Every structure is written in C-alpha cells, then in structure tokens.
Amino acid sequence: MAIETSHLNRRIIALLIITLFFFILFTARLFSVQIVRGALREVSNKNHELYRSERIHPLRGRIYASDSKIPLAFNSETFSVFVIPALVPKDKLDEIFALTESILELEKDYIMTTISGSRLHMYTRVLIASNVTLEKIIELGENKNILSGVVWQNIPQRQALELRSLAHIVGYIGPISPNEFKIRSGLNYSKDDLVGKLGVEKEYDTILKGSYGQEITMRDAKNKIVENTSSIIPPVNGNDIVLTIDTRIQELCEKALGERTGSIIVMKPTTGEILAMVSYPYYEPNKIYEDNNNITKYNTNQQKPFFNRALMSSYSPASTFKVVMTTAILEEKVLPTNQTVRCTGSLRVGDRYFHCHQRRGHGYMDLKNALAESCNVYYYTAGLKMGPEIIANYARKYGYGSSTKVDLPGESSLLIVPDANYKYRNFNQETWFDGDTANLSIGQGYLMVTTLQMANMMAMIVNEGKVYKPHFLKEIRDQDTGETIKTYEKEILHTLDLKKENWKLLKQALRYSVTDGTSSTVFMRNSVKVAGKTGTGQVGRDGHLNACFVAYGPYDAEIEDQFVVVTMVDSDNDWEWWAVKAASIVFHGINKDLDFVNSVKDLRAQWWFKQDERKQFF
Amino acid sequence: MKENNFFKIDIFLILVTVALTSIGLVFIYSSSLNEYNKFFYSFQHQIIWALSGLVILIIFYLISYQYLKNFILYIYLFFLLSLFVIAIFSKSSWLGRGLIGIQPSELAKLVSILTLALYLEKNHKDIKSLKVFLVSMVIMFIPMGLVLIQPDLGTALVFFPTFLFMLFMAGANIRYITFLFFVGMLVIVFAVLPEFEKIILQRDVKIFDVYTNNLYFFIFVSFLTLIIIVSLIGYKVTKKRIFYWIIFCVSIVLVGITVGKMIKASGVLKEYQIKRLILFVDPYKDSNNFGYNLIMSLNAIQAGGFSGTGLGQGAWSQNSYIPEQTTDFIFSIICEEWGFVGASAVLILYLGLFLKLFLHLKNIDDFYGKIIISGIIGMFLTHFVVNVGMVIGLMPVTGIPLYFMSYGGSSLWTAMACIGIVMNINSKKFEIID
C-alpha cells in the first residue's frame, strides 16, 4: 500500500507540473501581449479599428465677375440620402423603404438590395441617393415621423449661372483623373477629389479648393458612433476669386460676335486686365454638372465648344502684322515716312510674283497710306530691305513667339516667329529665301500668333513700350469673411524701346488707317475715335479668310481710359467684314454704356445684319 | 457529527469560489453598462444562479458522496437518454430557454465523472487490465459522442483529458493512457490537416499528399499495417521488446491517421468548427469572420496594458467589439479593464484553487473520492486552459466557458456542485480517521 501511495504521489506531481506549465505559459503570454505589446498586426481594415475618421467637405471658393455681385460659379444645396439600417424598425422595414423609394423615385426594392441583408443590424450609413433636390428633401422631412433610419446630408455641389461665353473663362470641375492626380502629387489632393478641368476653375484650383476637415469618432462594433467621442478638425473653405471680367462688356461682345465662330478680347492696356473674352461656340458648365455625358457630346461636336479660340487657336496675323512692320520701318529708318513705293499689284521676288490684294495696284504709296490701304507691295519692299532678322526681332519684342503667361490654361503652343533656324529645324530646309521674307512681311507664312497676342500688341502701342501680363484674376477673397486676401498687381511682360516721335507716328498711322483706310465706313458714326488695323488671312486653299481687327480707343483720351479690342472671325463664316463691324459695336457700346441692341441702333447699323437677325432691333 | 463538519469546512475553497464568482459578476455587470443593455438581464440571471449555486454547493457538501453511489448509475442513464434526445431532436444543446434553460451536456460531465469513479472503484483490483480500460472508455465516450453530434465540440473535447486524468490517478496502465493520448492528438491533427494546409499555410505541401490523396493514403496505411504484421511475427518469434515498441508506436500512427481520416470523411466536424480550431495560429488569415473574435480579443487585451482601462472603461469591451463577452470571452474583458495586474490576480486565484485541489487529491485516502477529485481537476483544468488559452490566442476557439466567471447557469452550478463534492470528500477524510 505504501508503495502504491508513493507511486500515486508521483503521478500527482506529474499532473501538478502540467498544471503549473500552463500557468507559466499564460502569464508569459499576457506579459507579452499587455506589456511588450507585440501580438497585433496593423490591419488596414475598418472593422478592426476603434476610431474612424470621416472627411468633412470644404466649400469650394466661388468665382465672381469684377462687380462681385452674383457669383458665376458657386456651391449649391444638394443632398445625399442615407439609410442607417439598425435604426429602421424591423417591423416597418417594408413600409419605410417603399415610401422612401417613392419619394426619391427609386426602383422598387432598390434600398433593400443596396443594403444587403446581413448589414441590417449595422449603424453604417448606406448611401441610397445623391444629388437629391431640396424639394424632395422637404418631402422626406414631412414624413420624418414615419421614416426613422432615413437621414440626409447636405453635400456641396458645384453649380454655375448660365454662363454662356463666360464658360471659357470660368471653366468646370470634374472628378480627378489618375493622370491629373499624378501631376498634382504633393499638393494635398486625394484620389476622389473634384478638380478644375478648364478655365479659372483649373488655373486657380489650389486657391479655390480649400482643404478637408475631419471628424474622428469612436465607433462600436456595429459602427454606431459612441456618444461624446467625436473630435472635429473643421475644413478650410476655399477662397473666392474675383475676376477682371466686366459682365456687361462680356455680354456686349458675346452678342456682337453672335453665332460666328471666332473670338473677341477687350483688354485694359494699362494693367493687362481682360475685361471681356468671348469665344464662340461655348459650352455650358451646368449641363455638365447635370449630366456627365454632356462632356462627350461637347467633345464630339465638330465646332469644338471646349476650345477657347482667343488663346487656344493659332492664326496667321495677316495684315495686322503690318503694325509690327511699320514700327520696324520707323525705328530702323528703313524707308523715310514720306518716301513712296509704286505698287503695280505685284512684286517679283526671285522667280515668283508676290501679289498685292489690290490686283491692279495701289500706285504710289507712302508708309501711312500703305498701312491704311494695307498695301502688300510696300511692305514686301520694306521687308526685303531690312531682312528677316530685324522683322523677327521686332515681332518678338511685341511678344510674338512667346507665351503671354495669361492665367488661363490651354494657351496654344503654336506661337511662331520664323527665322532661318526655325525653317531648318522644322522643314529641314537650309536656305531662307527672299520669298520667305516677303511672306513674313505681310504676316503670312510660318508666322503663328493668338488673338490674345494681338491684343498685347495693341496694348504695347497704347502704353508706348510696355505690355502688362494679361490676366483674369482681380483679387482673392476669404470665402467666410469676405476679406480681400490678395489683390493682383500688374506685371510687365514685354518692353519695347522706341523713340517717342515714332510711337506718335505709329499711333497716327493706325488712326489714319481707320479714318481713311479699309475700314473707314464702318466707323463713320462711331462715338469712339478708334485706331486700328484690319487683317484677312488666307486659310487653306479654298479661299476662306480669317477676318480680324486689332484696335484701341478712344484715340485722344488718357491712356488709362483707353481699351484694346481685338476681334477675330474664323474663316468658316461668310462674314468677311464682321470683325470690323463687331469691334465697332463693341467700342460704341462701351463708350456710351449701351447694350448690344442699343449700340447697334445708335450706330444705325441694323443693315449690317441679315434679314432674320434684324427683328431684335425693332 | 454535524457540528464537526462545520468546523472542517474548507474556508479557502469557499473564499476562492466566491471571489472568482464575484469577479465574474463584476465583469458581467461591466458588460451591461454599454448602451445596448442586453447584458443587464445576464447580470440579474447570474446573481440568481450564483446564489442558487451556493445552495447547490452546500447541498453537495452536506450529502455524503458515498451516498451518491446508490443512484448515480440511474442518473447517468437518464443523462445518456436526454443527451440522445437532444442530439437527435434538438437544434441546440439547450433544454428550455433563458433563466430556466439548462445545458444537460454541462452537467453530464460531472455525472460521467461520478459514474466512472464508481466503476473504477468496483474494479480496483483489475485497474491495470485492458478490459477495465476499455469499459472506462465506453462509459466516458458514449456521452462524449452524444455531445459531439449535438454539435458541441468544445464540451465534448473536455471529456477526453478528464478521462485521462482519472485513469492516470486510478493507476491504469500508463501505456494505454499514452497510447490513447497520442492517438487523440493525431486524430485532431489529421482531422484539420487539409484545412490547415489550405487556410493557414496557403500553399501545397507535398508531404501532406500522403494523407489527402486517397491512393497514397491507402498505400501508406497498408505499409503501416505491413510493418505491424512483420513486427508481430518478429515479436512472436524472437520475443524482443523492440518489436513491441515498434508495434506500439506504429499503431498509434495507424489508428490516429485512420480515425482522423474517418472523422474528416464522415463530416462530423463541420467546416466552421475546423476553421475555428486552426485559425488561432494566424487569425489574420480570415480576419473578418472566424479570426475576428480572436483579433478583437487580442485588441482588448493589449489595450488593457499594465493596469487596465478601469472598470466599465474598456473601449473594446464597452462597444460590443468582443463577441460572447460575458460567456466565452469574459477573460478578455478582465484583461482590458483590469490590465495585466487584474488578469494575473485572477490567474493566481485559479492557481490557488488548483493547488488546493491537488492538496486534497494527495491527502484523500479513499479511492472513490480520489478518482472523483482527479476527474474534477481534469475537467476544471481543461476548461481553464482551453478558455483562457483561446482568449489570449494560444488555443483553438472552441467556446467552452471559464468556470465560475462565465455567464451561464449550467456551468456555474456544475462548478459549484464540484466544489461541494470536493469539500464533502475532504470532510469525510476526518470521519474515516475517527
């Protein structure tokens, strides 16, 4: 018996050791988990986190015209509707969902399928409708007693006024593309942001967008917010932007251009402020906000409504380039002002004849008349005499061949002042012919400019040697307080040093070309003394012409009161003189503070219009 | 005699029991603090069960354990019948609902212990024989099988170590026990092996093909059988012990792998049960479903740190992150709200309980009493190790309660009854000496 007892005692000790082993193991494990803390892995799984953060959307800055009365682009009250399944009484599930579906015009059983059955006990918000109008929310609100578990949130949605021609300036926003996201790395963008796609919305996106706030809350396992645990980092709203655009001038220009493909720019030369910029056709941002498919419609439209012709298109400057030529002739004393050149209708250069637009010839022409009559032969002669380097040099000083640095995206990259080097690089032709010089002298050939550059050219003349950077930004304001944060300060873009009397002669010549030149009749009744130059550039070989007119006025006024108007009517219109006529309506309208209809009436210019367009003036 | 009994009350066991039960109540109450409020009824119920449990403890303390011998067999048969009825007709392991619902499988463990102890005492002389061992197995494994098909895998598994503890203390042949122990281990390993390969390792392990591929398996089993036959012949001819041990070891593998394969093929183990068994190795492999409980439990335990977040302050505990937080996972609430300090204190209380039980085990001379206590130790230890091990991520998730602390009447009553019986056995020790 004693032997058996000691035998059994050994067995007890064996079991005791097993027991103690587990206690030691468990204590060690608790120590490692609770004190050393090495048992858990970081998991990027929301269900495994106690604290969840949700973004709070900032309000995007609004965009105002210069009078800063009504915002052109703003944030509207649209709502998103959610269901919190756990808050919906289980016995009234069908009733509540059916009512919500009928108010929101959703398909039957849409809510039930959106909330898959397994989530019915969860407090997670399930989005069932976005972009819901206020009226429908009011209807939901009236049924609030019945609709427990149905909640809504105001999510700011971008909207714009009916912008018409302002669309090109204001632009629109849309979901950021992967490529855009990559380009903006480091600028605090996230992958589901909305970002400006065109216009000021794109150019000043970082100013407008603001930054997200955050609400951090403790959640229980059903995702219900635990009371008194929320901490909020408020969002920083984006800043408002005030544009230099004068809406009345913009409207005047828009109607003066009418439904003709082309563009009009009105600029204040002493600051570079753009008062109006119209490009026809245009698109409507609100149509895009209403239905994203409209982007495709606009994109496939042959007339390219997304295309801002004022700065995205390159043209031959044509006869307007004679302004640059005249400057060079005066300053370089290529031909004395009173020396005449005989125009016989053409000039033989090498083995080719270069024609004047007046086939029978202008006869003897001095500089002033050559500019007024736009005599090609005179400028061929002068151009050949001074050579392509000098011409190119003056063209560049006027700003041609380089960016205007305007604060609107999409400026054309085809900005060319040709020389021998350019020709060699692009066409692999080593020789610069005299014929090239002749073409260059009348603004044809390789030369490529934008309408905005032409406006800068006129600003240079008004300012007698200075071009200010053209811009749309007037000031940046705090959206919440309305305080001005930053006012745009003018900035010199190009300078050109000429003798004082040469500026005067140039201005006189430009004034003379309006009073006595090609466009004299159009300005007969105009209240503004306009100085300017017409241009018609040949595009392709089918005889279509781009008609343009570069001008400034009032001629006698202080330069602070003068403004530059450039009109460009594309070759696909049968309105060859429209550029000049549109400019005339714009000048008169601005000067007399008249809208389009009254400006036309005042000019007694109804007869410029086709029969069916005249109705509006009665 | 009655007066004497009161002086021989084991104050220490009473204190530990009351302390553990009270801590359990505190944390069930803490769980009821969160706003869903669903555990407040649990708290009220548990108070009722704790108080009635104490009455049960006293009743079992006052009834002589020897007296139980008279009718334990009938109780055993009654339980077998009820387990059978539940296994066949019921969808769950419960009889009744809520406050009056009981789990017969919980009480069946104690009844089985008492019955087996009686059988072992009756066959004390032949304790080392294979026949007694096999009959013991039948007594224990019939209720175990019935619980297993309820299906309540966790409770069923408790029978196994309890059985080994009892036979071990009864002085059964150590070889049988070793054989059964290793076979049991291998059965579990082989039953989960295919899922382990698929879910945890997530790659094809060539050597496992011997088991998973039916042809290879057949060849392998035939090969093992061949070794046994050859060794058997070798043993008969030469009488060398080496052949005996070869047969012993190879048989363990053969039986283990075959039964494992049969269980796998029979589908007794549902796939979710297998997943729960193996995911403790790496809960992140299925973090949203079967690994979720474990990850949440570990989150809570880690959040507790050294001194804990304070009662009712545990972020994980109070926000419904811990599933079964009043029953199977109550220890993780303790770990979060009382930290390492509190958890260690609870472990020390349990250690005290076990040491005291071992002391009684050593000091009892009555064979029947000794076997009962060893069975109770085996059962308590299995519950403790499997539950706490599960909560802290060292053991499979099987869902058996932590005695004294977990919410639930059946388990609390069983544990109280056990303590009452142990105290009675202990008090009778003096009687016999007298």
pLDDT digits (tens, 9 = 90+) for A505-522: 999 999 999 998 877 888
- Whether the CB of A153 is below 8 Å from some CB of chain B: the reply is no
**Hey, of B380, B388, B390, which one would you mutate to test binding to chain A, going by the most A CBs within 10 A of its CB?**
B388
Q: How far is the alpha carbon of A201 from chain B, nearest alpha carbon, in Å? A: 43
- Enclosing H/E stretch for A53: strand A51-56
pLDDT of the residue at B386: 95
- What is the mean predicted confidence (pLDDT) over A392-420? 92
Peptide bond into A470 cis (omega under 30): no
Task: Quote the number of domains for chain B.
Answer: 1
Residue B1 maps to a domain: no
Contact by Cβ (8 Å): A552, A458 = yes
pLDDT of the residue at A452: 96
pLDDT at A224 over 90: no
Q: Determine phi and psi for A493, rounding to 5 degrees.
A: -100, -50
- Whether the CB of A35 is below 8 Å from some CB of chain B: the reply is yes
pLDDT of the residue at A38: 67
From CA A239, how far away is CA A485, in angstroms rounded? 9
pLDDT at B243 over 70: yes
pLDDT at B433 over 50: no
Cβ within 8 Å, pair B321-A45: no
From CA A240, how far away is CA A236, in angstroms rounded? 12
From CA A182, how far away is CA A47, in angstroms rounded? 30
The beta strand positions in A61-212, using DSSP E, are 63-64, 71-83, 126-132, 150-160, 173-175, 194-196
Q: Determine phi and psi for A88, rounding to 5 degrees.
A: -85, 120
**Hey, of B340, B353, B356, B359, which one would you mutate to test binding to chain A, going by the most A CBs within 10 A of its CB?**
B340
Q: Please report the number of interchain residue pairs, chain A to chain B, with beta-carbon separation below 8 angstroms.
A: 111
pLDDT of the residue at B334: 95
pLDDT of the residue at B95: 65
When mean pLDDT is compared across A1-15, A145-159, B223-237, the lowest value belongs to A1-15
- Tens of pLDDT, residue by residue over A356-386, are 888 888 999 999 999 999 999 999 999 999 9
**How confident is the prediction for chain A on average, in pLDDT?**
89
Q: How far is the alpha carbon of B215 from chain A, nearest alpha carbon, in Å? A: 40
- What is the mean predicted confidence (pLDDT) over B171-189? 93
Q: Which of A25-29, A347-351, A356-360, B364-368 has the highest mean pLDDT?
A: A25-29
From CA A261, how far away is CA A312, in angstroms rounded? 13
- Whether the CB of A37 is below 8 Å from some CB of chain B: the reply is yes
Instruction: Please name the member of A37, A48, A221 whose beta carbon is closest to the beta carbon of B319.
Output: A221
Residue B161 maps to a domain: yes
Local confidence band at A117 (pLDDT 50, 70, 90 cut-offs)? low
- Whether the CB of A525 is below 8 Å from some CB of chain B: the reply is no
Cβ within 8 Å, pair A39-B344: no
pLDDT of the residue at B94: 65
Q: How far is the alpha carbon of B110 from chain A, nearest alpha carbon, in Å? A: 20
pLDDT at A540 over 60: no
Question: What tokens were used for A329?
Answer: 């002739």
Altogether, the residues listed in chain A come to a count of: 618
Question: What tokens were used for A354?
Answer: 């270069």
- Tens of pLDDT, residue by residue over B345-367, are 999 999 999 999 999 999 888 99
Question: What tokens were used for A90?
Answer: 């289980």
From CA A258, how far away is CA A210, in angstroms rounded? 37
How many helices (H) does chain A have, and how many strands (E)? 22, 23
- What is the mean predicted confidence (pLDDT) over A114-143? 82
Show Cβ contacts of residue A528 under 8 Å, excluding neighbours closer than 6 positions.
Answer: A553, A554, A555, A587, A588, A590, A591
What angle do the packed helices B174-195 and B153-170 form, to 10 degrees? 160
pLDDT of the residue at B330: 93
Instruction: Please name the member of A30, A43, A220 whose beta carbon is closest to the beta carbon of B284.
Output: A43
Query: What part of A 99-128 touches B (C-beta under 8 Å)?
Result: none
Structural domain range at position B22: 11-427
Show Cβ contacts of residue B162 under 8 Å, excluding neighbours closer than 6 positions.
Answer: B109, B112, B113, B140, B375, B378, B379, B382
Residue B267 maps to a domain: yes
Local confidence band at A596 (pLDDT 50, 70, 90 cut-offs)? very high
- What is the mean predicted confidence (pLDDT) over A144-158? 86
pLDDT of the residue at B397: 87
**∠ CA A67-A551-A345 to the nearest 5 degrees?**
160
Residues of chain A contacting residue B340, judged by C-beta atoms under 8 Å apart: 30-31, 34-35
Question: What tokens were used for B33?
Answer: 């603090």
pLDDT at A248 over 50: yes
- Whether the CB of A8 is below 8 Å from some CB of chain B: the reply is yes
When mean pLDDT is compared across A8-12, A34-38, A395-399, B187-191, the lowest value belongs to A34-38
pLDDT at A1 over 50: no
Cβ within 8 Å, pair A40-B306: no
- Tens of pLDDT, residue by residue over B65-95, are 899 899 999 999 999 998 888 888 876 666 6
Determine the 3-state secondary structure of A331 from DSSP. Answer: helix
Cβ within 8 Å, pair A34-B361: no
Residues of chain A contacting residue B320, judged by C-beta atoms under 8 Å apart: 220-222
Calculate the CA dihedral of residues A146, A151, A156, A162 and round it to 10 degrees. -30
pLDDT of the residue at A332: 93
Question: What tokens were used for A215?
Answer: 């609400």
From CA A428, how far away is CA A426, in angstroms rounded? 6
Residues of chain A contacting residue B312, judged by C-beta atoms under 8 Å apart: none
Q: How far is the alpha carbon of B350 from chain A, nearest alpha carbon, in Å? A: 9
- The distance of Cα B399 from the centroid of its chain, to the nearest Å, equals 10
Cβ within 8 Å, pair A16-B299: no
pLDDT of the residue at B413: 94
When mean pLDDT is compared across A35-49, A178-192, B217-231, B306-320, the lowest value belongs to A35-49
Q: How far is the alpha carbon of B286 from chain A, nearest alpha carbon, in Å? A: 12
From CA A615, how far away is CA A610, in angstroms rounded? 10
Residues of chain A contacting residue B377, judged by C-beta atoms under 8 Å apart: 15, 19
> Tokens 């030469």 sit at which residue?
B238
Residues of chain B contacting residue A23, judged by C-beta atoms under 8 Å apart: 347, 350-351
Residues of chain A contacting residue B165, judged by C-beta atoms under 8 Å apart: 15
- Whether the CB of A87 is below 8 Å from some CB of chain B: the reply is no
More confident residue, B200 or B109: B109
pLDDT of the residue at B3: 46
| One-letter identity of residue B312 | G
- Enclosing H/E stretch for A365: strand A363-365
pLDDT of the residue at A195: 92
Question: What tokens were used for A604?
Answer: 């007694």
- What is the mean predicted confidence (pLDDT) over A314-341? 92
Cβ within 8 Å, pair A31-B340: yes
Instruction: Please name the member of A8, A34, A47 whose beta carbon is closest to the beta carbon of B306.
Output: A34
Residues of chain B contacting residue A37, judged by C-beta atoms under 8 Å apart: 302, 305
Q: How far is the alpha carbon of A280 from chain B, nearest alpha carbon, in Å? A: 57
From CA A236, how far away is CA A322, in angstroms rounded? 52
Q: Determine phi and psi for A435, rounding to 5 degrees.
A: -60, -35
From CA A25, how far away is CA A27, in angstroms rounded? 6
pLDDT over 70 percentage in chain B = 93
pLDDT at B2 over 50: no
pLDDT of the residue at A123: 81
Cβ within 8 Å, pair A9-B362: yes
Residue B434 maps to a domain: no
> CA–CA distance from B276 to each of A118, A361, B154, B290, B299 (Å)?
21, 101, 11, 6, 18
Instruction: Please name the member of A4, A23, A43 whose beta carbon is closest to the beta carbon of B351.
Output: A23
Q: How far is the alpha carbon of B210 from chain A, nearest alpha carbon, in Å? A: 33
DSSP A373-390: HT-HHHHHHHHHHH-HHH
- Whether the CB of A11 is below 8 Å from some CB of chain B: the reply is yes
Contact by Cβ (8 Å): A488, A406 = no
From CA A339, how far away is CA A358, in angstroms rounded? 20
- What is the mean predicted confidence (pLDDT) over B177-200? 90
Residue B27 maps to a domain: yes
Contact by Cβ (8 Å): A283, A305 = yes
Residue B347 maps to a domain: yes
| One-letter identity of residue A379 | Y
Instruction: Please name the member of A9, A40, A47 whose beta carbon is closest to the beta carbon of B302.
Output: A40
Residue B433 maps to a domain: no
pLDDT of the residue at A517: 84
Local confidence band at A389 (pLDDT 50, 70, 90 cut-offs)? very high
pLDDT at B1 over 60: no
**How confident is the prediction for chain B on average, in pLDDT?**
88
Is B94 buried (19+), middle (13-18) or exposed (0-12) by CB count in 10 A? middle
Local confidence band at B269 (pLDDT 50, 70, 90 cut-offs)? confident
Local confidence band at B36 (pLDDT 50, 70, 90 cut-offs)? low
Q: Determine phi and psi for A15, rounding to 5 degrees.
A: -65, -40
- What is the mean predicted confidence (pLDDT) over A266-282? 96
Local confidence band at A243 (pLDDT 50, 70, 90 cut-offs)? very high
Local confidence band at B117 (pLDDT 50, 70, 90 cut-offs)? very high
Local confidence band at A15 (pLDDT 50, 70, 90 cut-offs)? very high
What angle do the packed helices A322-332 and A500-515 form, to 10 degrees? 140
Cβ within 8 Å, pair B340-A37: no
Is B365 buried (19+), middle (13-18) or exposed (0-12) by CB count in 10 A? exposed
Residues A312, A314, A318, A320, CA torsion sign: positive
pLDDT at B5 over 60: no
Q: A358: which strand partners?
A: none
From CA A417, how far away is CA A328, in angstroms rounded? 15
Residue B286 maps to a domain: yes
